[in-house]
């Protein structure tokens, strides 16, 4: 099967033009929009009410020029500039300043992000930056980290640079020049930097603006996603620079502390467009109080993108039930599929209609065939590809028939060029990106079923981990959105393990027998081990998602040995 999106998306004013970048487009919007607000950061670190720190298009353009001018004295076009800063308007300045100077930006994070020091050190070793961009309050900490890990790079605090005077000729990149490296664990054990050209990222920003209904002057993006993540960067910086949209940002921790802050920002922003992983919608529905809801007006929301992990029907229903009274319309929910190797967006459901849901026979789905049934596994459609192509292929790379499960492969102008310094990587093949994700094309839409590397295969039978996790989390002794199911090697072959957090005021150990019985009855699967942890102990990613890979590693390392 091969398909091209049949939805006719209107194209915005700009296309991926020669010599353009997010930084050059910033200059165009600065001349056109001037004193209108370009970016606002809601700072909950210094104010409980979220002090708004805003930059107009002209102010942002001036500050980006100041960074670019200084970088021109430190590095040559094509060298790497790593951004080690916290979520802020300064992060936007640093990233765009690197692009304007013709450097290859590497969006990363400050060393104070808990549990990620090793990953940061490995990433810096891999990309070998000539310069590191940060802010004045972090120079001591960042400088110490660079020295400790023998990173020889100039350190620049972007919030201390003087304004530029006079006229300057900024670098105008060729479309195939790298714009930035998007680091992702991908299918590798160590961080790998996806090489994304200016053509790649401008193309995907155009695709996002068109698919999500973004228009300059009438829509704005609202995001708590980390700016060093693929979706966080395109939603918070890329799409706004391409489409002339106002960007409203907050720190991920501000969302996790009080998810109502995200919805308050959506409520205050006309024509809001936002995105989050599936867990964030369920988390918001559970944690936002009735008092907080009384301040929400969500009827003007344009699109809420749900992606980066399996979209659960129960989550969509729970979120809509919680906030329908605040004016939220069901059709703004947009299930999506994407990955860093394709910049971010690959497919999304149509605007104006609720995402389609289909229940498939669980046994047949595990065998590789999507067969509708009255009960089983319900999947939410990820829609159709946006100005790109999708293939579903078998293990030999041959296209399969509609209704058959296989690996998702993608081809389009947004697909990256491979991994930095790893020409041997086989993810990019003959113009097609092998995603490592499993999916099925059913009645004209894409349904993602899981990841190849996460598939639990026991006694020759396939089990999707999210199905096992949903069964486990249905027990009242298990904390919602806390379970991780994975397979490990054993003398008797691959065996299944579940790690979970017990709910407050409950004893998860007492429920282990019931959980084993439920998984056995529902999936025909015997669990080798069930590990019960306290709330907050299951490893998560920097955006709050459960990390099966980290759970598996911790288990094999004996971290939870009893």
CB-based contact 477:506 (threshold 8 Å): yes
pLDDT at 2: 45
How many angstroms from the chain centroid is the CA of residue 346?
12
How far is residue 279's CA from residue 507's CA, in Å, rounded to a whole number? Answer: 23
Report domain extents, the chain: 18-35+55-216+226-243, 282-451, 455-556
d(CA 220, CA 243): 10
Residue position matching structure tokens 């487009």:
25
So what's the pLDDT on residue 543?
A: 63
Residue-wise pLDDT tens digits, 301-335: 999 999 866 788 888 999 999 999 999 999 999 99
Is the sign of the CA dihedral 216, 219, 220, 225 positive or negative?
negative
The predicted model scores a pTM of 0.86
CB atoms within 10 A of CB 562: 6
Rg (CA), the chain: 23
User: Taking 50 as the threshold, does the pLDDT of residue 97 lie above it?
Assistant: yes
Taking only the tens place, the pLDDT of each residue in 128-180 is 999 999 999 999 999 999 999 999 999 999 999 999 987 888 989 999 999 99
Chain mean pLDDT for the chain: 90
Residues 6+ positions from 543 with CB-CB distance below 8 Å? 225, 226, 229, 232, 252, 277, 308
Provide the pLDDT for residue 188.
41
Tokens representing 99 are: 């692009």
Write down the pLDDT at residue 532.
Answer: 93
Between 9 and 459, the more confident residue is 459
Distance CA 12, CA 60 (A): 22
Q: Cα dist. 522→194, 376, 467, 469, 516 in Å?
A: 39, 10, 9, 12, 10
Task: Band the pLDDT of 8: cuts 50, 70, 90.
Answer: very low
| CATH architecture of the domain with residue range 455-556 | 2-Layer Sandwich (3.30)
Whether the per-residue pLDDT at 25 is higher than 70: the answer is yes
- Chain centroid to Cα 266, Å, comes to 19
Residues near 233 by Cβ (< 8 Å), separated by ≥ 6? 95, 107, 180, 182, 227, 344
Nearest CA-CA partner of 119 in 109, 106, 128, 133: 109
User: What tokens appear for 548 in the block?
Assistant: 């099966």
Beta pairing, strands 272-276 & 246-250: unpaired
> Residue 444 in contact with residue 434, Cβ under 8 Å?
no
pLDDT of res. 505: 81
pLDDT higher than 70, residue 191: yes
* Candidates 3.40.50.2300, 3.40.50.12780, 3.20.20.70, 3.40.50.10860; CATH matching 282-451: 3.40.50.12780
Percent helix / strand / coil, the chain, rounded to 5: 35, 25, 40
Determine the distance from the C-alpha atom of residue 230 to the mean position of all C-alpha atoms in its chain, rounded to a whole number: 5
User: SS3 for 130?
Assistant: coil
Picking from 410, 390, 384, the residue whose alpha carbon sits closest to that of residue 200 is: 410
- Residue 327: per-residue pLDDT: 96
- Distances from the Cα of 527 to the Cαs of 31, 459, 468, 512, 519, in angstroms? 62, 12, 10, 10, 8
Q: What is the pLDDT of residues 348-397, one digit of tens each?
A: 999 888 889 999 998 899 899 999 999 998 999 999 999 999 999 999 98
Stretch 414-436: mean pLDDT, rounded? Answer: 83
* % residues pLDDT > 90 (the chain): 67
Domain 18-35+55-216+226-243 coded CATH 3.40.50.12780:
yes
The alpha carbon dihedral of 7, 12, 13, 15 has a sign of negative
Is 39 within 8 Å of 74 (Cβ atoms)? Answer: no
Q: pLDDT for 226-277, tens place per residue?
A: 999 999 999 999 999 999 999 999 999 999 999 999 999 999 998 999 999 9
**DSSP E strand boundaries for 210-325:** 220-223, 246-250, 272-276, 303-306
Q: Return the pLDDT at 19.
A: 81
Cβ atoms 23, 100 nearer than 8 A: yes
Answer for the pair 518, 472: CB distance below 8 angstroms, yes or no: yes
Both tokens assigned to 359: 């229940």
CB 186 within 8 A of CB 223: no
Q: What is the pLDDT of residue 189?
A: 54
18-35+55-216+226-243 and 282-451: identical CATH topology: yes
Task: Give the pLDDT confidence score for residue 15 in this predicted structure.
Answer: 47
pLDDT higher than threshold 60 for residue 13:
no
Tell me the residue ranges of DSSP E strands in 84-209.
104-107, 131-134, 154-157, 178-184, 192-197
Give the mean model confidence (pLDDT) for residues 89-94. 98
């Amino acid at each position: 099967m091969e398909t091209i999106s049949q939805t006719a998306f209107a194209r915005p004013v700009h296309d991926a033009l020669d010599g353009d970048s997010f930084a050059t487009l910033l200059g165009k919007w600065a001349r056109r929009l001037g004193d209108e607000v370009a970016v606002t950061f809601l700072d909950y670190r210094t104010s409980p009410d979220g002090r708004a720190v805003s930059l107009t298009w002209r102010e942002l353009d001036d500050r980006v020029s100041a960074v670019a001018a200084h970088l021109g004295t430190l590095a040559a076009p094509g060298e790497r500039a790593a951004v080690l800063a916290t979520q802020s308007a300064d992060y936007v300045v640093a990233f765009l300043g690197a692009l304007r100077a013709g450097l290859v930006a590497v969006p990363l994070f400050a060393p104070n992000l808990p549990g990620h020091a090793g990953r940061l050190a490995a990433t810096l070793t891999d990309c070998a930056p000539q310069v590191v961009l940060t802010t004045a309050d972090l120079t001591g900490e960042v400088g110490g980290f660079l020295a400790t890990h023998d990173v020889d790079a100039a350190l620049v605090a972007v919030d201390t640079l003087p304004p530029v005077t006079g006229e300057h000729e900024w670098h105008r990149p060729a479309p195939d020049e790298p714009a930035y490296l998007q680091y992702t664990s991908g299918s590798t054990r160590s961080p790998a930097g996806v090489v994304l050209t200016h053509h790649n990222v401008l193309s995907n920003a155009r695709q996002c603006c068109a698919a999500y209904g973004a228009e300059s002057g009438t829509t704005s993006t609202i995001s708590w996603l980390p700016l060093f993540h693929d979706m966080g960067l395109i939603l918070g910086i890329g799409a706004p620079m391409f489409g002339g949209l106002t960007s409203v940002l907050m720190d991920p921790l501000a969302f996790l502390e009080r998810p109502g802050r995200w919805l308050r920002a959506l409520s205050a922003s006309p024509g809001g467009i936002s995105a989050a992983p599936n867990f964030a919608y369920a988390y918001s529905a559970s944690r936002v109080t009735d008092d907080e809801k009384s301040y929400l007006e969500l009827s003007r929301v344009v699109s809420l993108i749900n992606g980066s992990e399996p979209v659960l029907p129960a989550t969509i229903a729970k979120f809509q039930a919680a906030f329908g009274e605040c004016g939220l319309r069901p059709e703004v929910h947009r299930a999506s599929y994407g990955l860093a190797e394709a910049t971010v967006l690959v497919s999304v459901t149509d605007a104006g209609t609720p995402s389609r849901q289909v229940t498939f026979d669980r046994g047949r789905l595990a065998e590789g065939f999507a067969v509708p049934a009255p009960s089983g596994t319900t999947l939410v459609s990820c829609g159709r590809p946006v100005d790109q192509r999708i293939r579903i292929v078998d293990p030999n790379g041959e296209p399969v028939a509609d209704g058959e499960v296989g690996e998702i492969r993608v081809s389009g102008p947004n697909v990256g060029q491979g991994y930095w310094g790893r020409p041997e990587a086989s993810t990019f093949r003959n113009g097609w990106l092998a995603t490592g994700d499993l999916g099925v094309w059913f009645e004209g839409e894409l349904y993602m079923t899981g990841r190849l590397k996460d598939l639990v295969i026991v006694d020759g039978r396939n089990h999707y981990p999210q199905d096992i996790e949903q069964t486990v989390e249905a027990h009242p002794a298990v904390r919602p959105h806390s379970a991780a199911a994975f397979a490990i090697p054993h003398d008797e072959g691959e065996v299944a393990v579940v790690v979970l957090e017990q709910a407050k005021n409950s004893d998860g150990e007492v429920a282990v027998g019931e959980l084993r019985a439920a998984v056995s009855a529902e999936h025909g699967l015997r669990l080798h081990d069930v590990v019960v942890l306290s709330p907050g102990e299951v490893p998560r990613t920097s955006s709050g998602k459960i990390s099966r890979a980290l759970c598996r590693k911790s288990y094999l390392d004996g971290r939870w040995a009893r």
